[in-house]
Amino acid sequence: MGTESSGKLVAVRTLVLQDRQILLVGHRSTKTGKVWWMAPGGLAHAGEPALDAAVREVGEETGLEVEVDRLIYWLEWIWERSHCVELYFVGKVIGGQLAIGNDPELPVDRQIIFDARFVDLGELGNYPVYPKIFRTLLAEHLGQGLPEGAMYLGISQPDLPR
């Protein structure tokens, strides 16, 4: 890790939990066909508040309207010349209808979202969920109660199967 990082990014994700299920969005690489699942989210636009970005991203990717409650986790991705702080919020559905959304930043023929669904927390091990820490962390925290403050999950390099 050097000090010459030029790309500074803020990403948001929203953990939408209902009846011991979590909302996940399925992604498929257009290059390799590999699949991964994540909580809905993406990059905040320049000048866009993180909470607004979280609500927007859930709508774009799943068709659901959410109310964002609070920050629960945060982590950092550091690679090459980029540094991204990713904020994870808790949200609840207040409207909309679950649907497979899209990424408006990508052209139609390069879309990577192929599914959006609620998954039982006990079945997370059956999905290639990213970041990998969520495969065990969410079930553990929901069993004990979610952390009261924002929990730092550390520094990582992106490990998506692209």
**In angstroms, rounded to a whole number, what is the distance separating the alpha carbons of residues 38 and 109?**
21
Q: List, for residues 119-136, the tens digit of each pLDDT value.
A: 998 888 899 998 888 777
Residues 6+ apart with CB under 8 A from 62: 23, 25, 40, 96, 98, 99, 100, 101, 116
**Cα angle, residue 107 at apex, residues 104 and 112 outer, rounded to 5°:** 75
**Residues forming a β-bridge with 116:** 25
Q: List, for residues 19-34, the tens digit of each pLDDT value.
A: 889 999 999 988 899 9
Checking if the pLDDT of 5 tops 70, the result is no
Contact 78, 11 (CB under 8 A): no
More confident residue, 121 or 43: 43
In-domain check, residue 104: yes
pTM higher than the cut 0.85: yes
In-domain check, residue 77: yes
Residue 38: Cβ-neighbour burial (10 angstroms; 0-12, 13-18, 19+): buried
In-domain check, residue 76: yes
In-domain check, residue 22: yes
- Structural domain total, the chain: 1
In-domain check, residue 148: yes
In-domain check, residue 2: no
**According to the model, what pLDDT value does residue 162 have?**
61
Q: How far from 38 is each of 98, 116, 139, CA to CA, in Å?
A: 16, 10, 15
CATH number at residue 116: 3.90.79.10
In-domain check, residue 112: yes
More confident residue, 14 or 2: 14
In-domain check, residue 161: no
Domain region containing 90: 7-156
pLDDT band at 2 (very low <50, low <70, confident <90, very high): very low
